Amino acid sequence: MKQARVTMEVGSDGVAIITFSNPPVNALALTVFDGLKEKFSEAMRRDDVKAIVVTGNGGRFSGGFDINVFEMVHKTGDISILPDASVDIFTNVVEDGKKPTVAAIEGLALGGGLELALVCHARIAAPRTQLGLPELTLGVLPGSGGTQRLPRLIGLPKALEIMLLSKSITSEEGKKLGLVDAVVPSDELLKVSRQWALDIAGRRKPWVRSLHRTDKLGSLPEVHDIINTARQQAKQTAKNMPQHQACLDVIEEGIIHGGYHGLLKESKVFKELVSTDTSKGLVHAFFAQRATTKVPNISDIGLKPRSIKKVAVIGGGLMGSGIATALILSDIYVILKEVNSEYLLKGIKAIEANVRGLVSKRKLAQDKAEKALLMLKGVLDYAEFSDVDMVIEAVIENISLKQQIFGDIEKACPPHCILASNTSTIDLNIVGAKTKSQDRIVGAHFFSPAHVMPLLEIIRTEKTSPQVILDLMTVGKTIKKVPVVVGNCTGFAVNRTFFPYSQSAHLLVNLGVDVFRIDQLISNFGLPMGPFQLQDLAGYGVAVATTKEFSMSFPERTFESPLVKLLIKNGRNGKSNGKGYYIYERGSKPKPDPSVLPIIEESRRLTNIMPGGKPISVTDEEIVEMILFPVVNEACRVLDDGVVVRASDLDIASVLGMSFPSYRGGIIFWADTIGANRVYRSLQKWSELYGNFFRPSRFLEERATRGIPLSAPASTSSGARPRL
């Protein structure tokens, strides 16, 4: 069993090496804090100790404060379990101790881990060590002095970038900024750190207490300017979240009234933030993402992933080129197949543009871009498929074309080769119907743009082998995606769950609600854009095709809105032809297009569903709920059908695939914060008023009436039928 412990060894040179260990990332658990306090106090007391080095065991300094403790606070509501490490241990015992301490850092020092290093009197790091304060991504702020010491060591602008954007830096950058005193090879880390500590004790090197420094802070007017600008930016980039503004308040307080005062305010605000819904949602999302790697009967049966070195991508359109880009960026050799040289050239150019786009956004170095492009080869036939480890088919959604391709690749590829399809709607059993390779057929559903969006939905059929799923999960991780394994059904987990999203928006519009009001409210809720702007972006063809697909599978809950077809009839296709619900002009934000209103009126006339022919009167809150509760309702069916392994998989999939706000924890987590009963009662009421589209599902009804959270495992409910 993993056990957290802290040890101390005193060398003949008089240096005490304090090592903390809590695999896999040396998280600072409550027992680690106790151990640190005990060992540091002992080292300060002992006459044979002249100086101290603190380090983490196993090549990783620390991933920060133990996030499980946040979860415990969220479950119990008891904030008294949070340690007072910031002043009590870090400042009083370590920073203000009568012997100097050097942090020997390797691998990573994040959050509380970096904050422990900041209280030390010098920091020696191994090459490429990752340094950062990502606490804001968990809804809190750097709570062990990070808000005070980082600006004092490296100046306010860079410190704000690291904290507000949760952007980590390397030890080499840290050295340039003054955060790290020396970067030394890993095998010399302890030797150099011990000597450095002795040099501080002997006054041959400076004994720096970062909390007392002010030389890098700048003048007060400069500080005000920088903080005010950051406040304005955070209003745009961190909508609905309190921690960014709170972090700025705490930094400012410390600069005006002194570091120690800042520490006290930081501790107080930290405790307030831990209890917010934002922190609850973000911590849930953190663990939900990690839970996706644990798939029963796949990740727990001793299988080892096979190496995937060469992948064939069929189709160089939007999806195929995005997928190929993601693969080559992670050093996987790709052959891109198209039907003719014109399409092939287009595909290759799209991949080049993707890669160069990353360079121009400074997300990729030029040399890495060149190297990635060398991993790509275009082909027009299957000759080179004889040694590929995986094929990902990404052609248009046409059943017979896909069946033909799977028949061909079954013959052209070696027997171990994984046969994956990027279909977003078609049943995989149908895709592979003409092959005898059902065990190696799997869905690899990427989200557009595939080289950017982090979700990879892995769809398994009853016949897909565990080895194939594990291999695809491993490829997914290699290309920096979050793979979520789901079952085979129309729309799979994400598209199926979010199918009612645009449906309900259309229903509301036909009931008389304004398109732009809906978009504004949904974007205020925290999605990047509303359903109509999203439709503009995707093009109306996608809306028509998916509605057709879903209405075939779920006719009883499909709302047939004539609006999209009317828009197409009027020469509109959204952003692609510059004519949508919005006007698109280069360099400016989309503006509502008033000329779309008569088309909407025509749709309302055709559907004729407004009660008494008059627009319904609904509050802003009701509009958001009338759009999102049907999504929760479908999510319940997805859970009931066992399409996902656990409810939190759907949460993280909704966050990463649909950009549902992570600070709301994901679709099911959010619904549970509202309560199944309220969701159920609202849907029940709307189904009586506006029809079947809103009818609550059996799963929702049962959970609501029995008072069981939607996220509770299937066994809690009487009739759930897990399929995975």
* Residue closer to ligand 3HC (CB basis): 166 or 403: 166
Q: Hey, is 634 helix, strand or coil?
A: helix
* Smallest separation, CB 298 to ligand 3HC (Å): 15
Question: Among residue numbers 323 through 362, which ones bind ligand 3HC (CB under 6 A)?
Answer: none
* Count of residues that bind ligand 3HC according to CB under 6 A: 22
H runs (alpha helix) in 571-619: 597-607
95, 106, 115, 457: the catalytic one is: 115
* Residue closer to ligand 3HC (CB basis): 72 or 373: 72
Question: Among residue numbers 482 through 521, which ones bind ligand 3HC (CB under 6 A)?
Answer: none
Give phi and psi for 475, each to the nearest 5: -60, -45
Helix 366-373 and helix 341-360, axial crossing angle in degrees, nearest 10: 160
* Smallest separation, CB 369 to ligand 3HC (Å): 24
* Smallest separation, CB 643 to ligand 3HC (Å): 22
Sign of CA dihedral 648, 653, 654, 660: positive
Q: Does 66 bind ligand 3HC (CB under 6 A)?
A: yes
Q: What is the 3-state secondary structure (H, E, C) of 496-544?
A: HHHHHHHHHHHHHHHCCCCHHHHHHHHHHHCCCCCHHHHHHHHCHHHHH
Instruction: Using CB under 6 A, pick the residue from 67, 336, 511, 596 that binds ligand 3HC.
Output: 67
Helix 259-274 and helix 146-154, axial crossing angle in degrees, nearest 10: 130
Rounded Cα–Cα distance for residues 167 and 144 (Å): 18
446 strand-pairing partners: 456
* Residue closer to ligand 3HC (CB basis): 110 or 351: 110
* Smallest separation, CB 63 to ligand 3HC (Å): 3
The two structure tokens encoding residue 417: 């080769």
DSSP string, 430-499: HHTTT-S-GGGEEEEEE-SSTTT--EEEEEE-SSS-HHHHHHHHHHHHHTT-EEEEEE-STTTTHHHHHH
* Residue closer to ligand 3HC (CB basis): 144 or 488: 144
Pairing of strands 5-10, 15-21: antiparallel
* Smallest separation, CB 191 to ligand 3HC (Å): 26
* Smallest separation, CB 23 to ligand 3HC (Å): 8
Annotated active-site residue 556? The verdict is: no
The separation between the first and the last C-alpha atoms of the chain, rounded to the nearest angstrom, is 28
* Residue closer to ligand 3HC (CB basis): 128 or 349: 128
106, 135, 625, 634: the catalytic one is: 135
114 strand-pairing partners: none
Instruction: Using CB under 6 A, pick the residue from 14, 56, 111, 696 that binds ligand 3HC.
Output: 111
Q: Does 64 bind ligand 3HC (CB under 6 A)?
A: yes
Residues 6+ positions from 127 with CB-CB distance below 8 Å = 171, 172, 183, 185, 186
Q: Using alpha carbons only, what angle is made at residue 73 by residues 3 and 282, rounded to the nearest 5 degrees?
A: 95
* Residue closer to ligand 3HC (CB basis): 143 or 259: 143
Instruction: Using CB under 6 A, pick the residue from 87, 138, 250, 376 that binds ligand 3HC.
Output: 138
Residues 469/458, Cβ–Cβ less than 8 Å: yes
Q: Does 144 bind ligand 3HC (CB under 6 A)?
A: yes
- By beta carbon distance, the residue nearest ligand 3HC is 111
Q: Does 281 bind ligand 3HC (CB under 6 A)?
A: no
* Residue closer to ligand 3HC (CB basis): 66 or 252: 66
Q: Does 269 bind ligand 3HC (CB under 6 A)?
A: no
Question: Among residue numbers 145 through 204, which ones bind ligand 3HC (CB under 6 A)?
Answer: 146
* Residue closer to ligand 3HC (CB basis): 142 or 696: 142
* Residue closer to ligand 3HC (CB basis): 283 or 417: 283
Q: Which stretch binds ligand 3HC (CB under 6 A): 62-70, 119-127, 440-448, 710-718?
A: 62-70
* Smallest separation, CB 62 to ligand 3HC (Å): 8
Name the one residue in this structure whose structure tokens are 């479908």: 634
* Residue closer to ligand 3HC (CB basis): 38 or 71: 71
Q: Hey, is 182 helix, strand or coil?
A: strand
Q: Does 24 bind ligand 3HC (CB under 6 A)?
A: yes
Residues 6+ positions from 511 with CB-CB distance below 8 Å = 609, 610, 611, 615, 616, 690
* Smallest separation, CB 83 to ligand 3HC (Å): 9
Sign of CA dihedral 666, 670, 675, 679: negative
* Residue closer to ligand 3HC (CB basis): 86 or 325: 86
Task: For residue 594, say if its preceding peptide bond is cis, omega within 30 degrees of 0.
Answer: no
Name all contacts of 360-364 with Cβ < 8 Å and 24+ positions apart. Answer: 364/329
Instruction: Using CB under 6 A, pick the residue from 176, 290, 371, 591 that binds ligand 3HC.
Output: 290
Residues 369/360, Cβ–Cβ less than 8 Å: no
Q: Please report which helix (H) or strand (E) contains residue 697, including its range.
A: none
* Residue closer to ligand 3HC (CB basis): 129 or 464: 129
Residues 355/325, Cβ–Cβ less than 8 Å: yes
Q: Hey, is 376 helix, strand or coil?
A: strand
* Residue closer to ligand 3HC (CB basis): 143 or 254: 143
* Smallest separation, CB 138 to ligand 3HC (Å): 5
Instruction: Using CB under 6 A, pick the residue from 25, 49, 336, 596 that binds ligand 3HC.
Output: 25
Q: Does 649 bind ligand 3HC (CB under 6 A)?
A: no
* Smallest separation, CB 135 to ligand 3HC (Å): 5
Sign of CA dihedral 569, 571, 576, 580: negative
Rounded Cα–Cα distance for residues 459 and 443 (Å): 4
Instruction: Using CB under 6 A, pick the residue from 68, 307, 692, 716 that binds ligand 3HC.
Output: 68
* Smallest separation, CB 104 to ligand 3HC (Å): 18
Q: Does 593 bind ligand 3HC (CB under 6 A)?
A: no
* Smallest separation, CB 27 to ligand 3HC (Å): 3
Instruction: Using CB under 6 A, pick the residue from 106, 135, 410, 651 that binds ligand 3HC.
Output: 135
Instruction: Using CB under 6 A, pick the residue from 65, 629, 680, 690 that binds ligand 3HC.
Output: 65
Q: Does 142 bind ligand 3HC (CB under 6 A)?
A: yes
Q: Does 134 bind ligand 3HC (CB under 6 A)?
A: yes
8-state DSSP, 242 = S
Residues 57/2, Cβ–Cβ less than 8 Å: no
Give the CA distances from residue 448 to residues 317, 326, 422, 563, in Å, rounded to whole numbers and listed in that order: 11, 12, 11, 24
Q: Does 112 bind ligand 3HC (CB under 6 A)?
A: yes
Q: Does 110 bind ligand 3HC (CB under 6 A)?
A: yes
* Smallest separation, CB 300 to ligand 3HC (Å): 13
Annotated active-site residue 115? The verdict is: yes
Cα dihedral 224, 225, 230, 235, rounded to 10, equals 90
Q: Hey, is 383 helix, strand or coil?
A: helix
Question: Known catalytic residues?
Answer: 115, 135
Q: Which residues of the chain form contacts with ligand 3HC (CB under 6 A)?
A: 24-25, 27, 63-68, 108, 110-112, 115, 134-135, 138, 142-144, 146, 290
